[in-house]
Amino acid sequence: MAEVSKGIAEKWGLVVDQDRCTGCNACVVACSMENNVPFTGEDNVAFGRGTYWIYNKRMWEGTYPEVAPAFQPVMCQQCGSAPCEPVCPTFAAVHSEEEQINLQIYNRCIGTRYCANNCPYHARQFNFEDPNIPEPMNSYLNPDVTVRRRGVMEKCTFCVQRIVAGRQTASAEDRPLRDGEVTPACVAACPSDALVFGDLSDPNSRVSQMAQNERQYKLMDELGTRPKVTYLKGGGRNGG
């Protein structure tokens, strides 16, 4: 793993403060509305085919009456050394050198699902059906994001459409991007301010500062995936 030891370039990062997170799932819905994630219906969810780019992992800890859920919002961790990338036969799962995130190129994807099988975070979602959004409900679909068809893998992109738009706006105004100028939909929605997004390559950005917090940990860091998402442990919750 010589590549890993060279160190991973840092760019966009997300901090999830589990002590603030209430598990309300506003992020799930905000993400779906921004990224044209289709609703799949009761049967598909029961089959495990529901599509959630970000989902709230609810883990029970303890036994009655000292039982409490620990909530952990899990989305694509945008690994610096991503397990999904080398297994894609069509190079649809590729690494963005510019933004330092993992991409899913929908028009390349042929739906082998190797990437999803290799992802330790269950972050990748497969379209088992074409989206079924009857007229006129398709009017709210976001024109900045491709509507995926059946047979295509998809996942959280850190709202790359907002990153690119922010970058292009800043460049048109001839200035650098400001901290907090780009916010993914989940971060914008979060009612308890548990999610913070920003540039990790800037040591003064809010996200860099928060990622230094003593409560920080990375999800399954031992796998060497180098995630760009940092979790901050919940304070008083049982084991959280």
Partner 1 sequence: MKHKKPWWKQPGIQIGAVLVAFIVIGGIIGGIFLTQTPPEQPIAFPHNRHVGIGASCLYCHAGATLGPSAGLPGIEKCWGCHQQVQKQSPELTKLAGYVERNEPIPWVPVAIQPEFVRFKHSPHVNAGLQCSACHGDLAKMTVAEAQKGQNMGWCLQCHKSSAPEQWTKLSDCATCHY
Partner 2 sequence: MSDKITRRNFLKIAGAGAAISAVLTGCGPMSRYIVRRPYTEMPEYNQTGLNTYYASTCRECAAGCGIIVRTKEGRAITIEGNPQHPLNRGRLCARGITAQQGLYNPDRVFGPIFQARGDTSRQARTTWDEVIPVVSDALKSPASQIAFLLGTAPDHLFDLVAEWARSNGAPAPLRYSALASFEGRSTLQEAANRTFGKPALPFFDLANAEVVFSFGANFLETWLSPVSYSSAYGDMRQARPTRRGYLVAFEARQSLTAGNADEWIPIKPGSEGLVALALARLIAEARGDDVPAAARSIDPATVAETAGIEPAKLTELARLFAASEHSLAIPGGGAICQHEGLATAQAILQLNVQVNNLGVPGGVYLTNTEQPTTSLAEVYNLVQKMNNSQVKVLFIHSANPVFELPKVLGFEEALAKVPLVISFATFPDETAMLSDYVLPDHSPLESFGYQRMLAAADRPVYSSIQPVVAPLYDTRSTADVLLAAAAAAGSPLPYTDEVDFIQQMIVPLISAGGFYTAPEIQTFWSRWLQYGGWWVTEQGLDTDISAAPSRSAAFSGPIALEEDKQFHLVVFPTQLGDGAGANRPWLQEMPDPMTTLTWNTWVEINPETADRLGIHDDDVVRVTTPYGALEASVYRYPAIRPDTIAIPFGQGHTALGRWAEGRGANPAALLPAAVNESGDLAYNDVVASIALTGKRRPLARVESREGVYGEH
Count the residues of the shown chain that bind partner 2, applying the rule CB under 8 A.
57
Cβ at position 106, least distance to partner 1 in Å: 6
160 binding partner 1? (CB under 8 A)? yes
Find the part of the chain contacting partner 2 (CB under 8 A) among 4-12, 43-51, 98-106, 218-226.
Answer: 43-51
Tell me whether residue 96 or residue 118 sits nearer to partner 1 (CB atom): 96
Tell me whether residue 11 or residue 195 sits nearer to partner 2 (CB atom): 195
Residue 105 exposed, middle or buried by CB count within 10 Å (0-12, 13-18, 19+)? middle
52 binding partner 2? (CB under 8 A)? yes
Cβ at position 225, least distance to partner 1 in Å: 19
Indicate which of partner 2, partner 1, none lies near residue 160 (CB less than 5 to 8 Å, by partner kind): partner 1
Can you tell me whether residue 5 is helix, strand or coil? helix
Q: Say which amino acid occupies 28.
A: V
Indicate which of partner 2, partner 1, none lies near residue 201 (CB less than 5 to 8 Å, by partner kind): none
| One of 5, 7, 107, 139 touching partner 2 (CB under 8 A) | 139
Tokens (6 digits) for 136: 């006129």
32 binding partner 1? (CB under 8 A)? no
126 binding partner 2? (CB under 8 A)? no
- Of residues 178 through 217, those in contact with partner 2 by CB under 8 A are 185, 188-194
Q: Determine the Cα–Cα distance for residues 154 and 77; give it in Å rounded to an integer.
A: 14
Query: CA dihedral in degrees (171, 176, 179, 185; nearest 10)?
Result: 10
CA distances from 143 to 33, 35, 161, 166 (A): 12, 9, 10, 16
Residue 2: enclosing H or E segment and its boundaries? helix 2-5
Tokens (6 digits) for 47: 């089959």
- Of residues 54 through 113, those in contact with partner 2 by CB under 8 A are 55-56, 58, 60, 63-65, 67-69, 71
Q: Determine the Cα–Cα distance for residues 70 and 108; give it in Å rounded to an integer.
A: 37
DSSP secondary structure string, 46-80?
A: HTT----SSEEEEEEES-TTS-EEEEEEE-----S
Q: Which residues bind partner 2 (CB under 8 A)?
A: 17, 19-20, 22-26, 28-30, 32-34, 39-43, 45-48, 50, 52, 55-56, 58, 60, 63-65, 67-69, 71, 134-143, 185, 188-194, 235-237
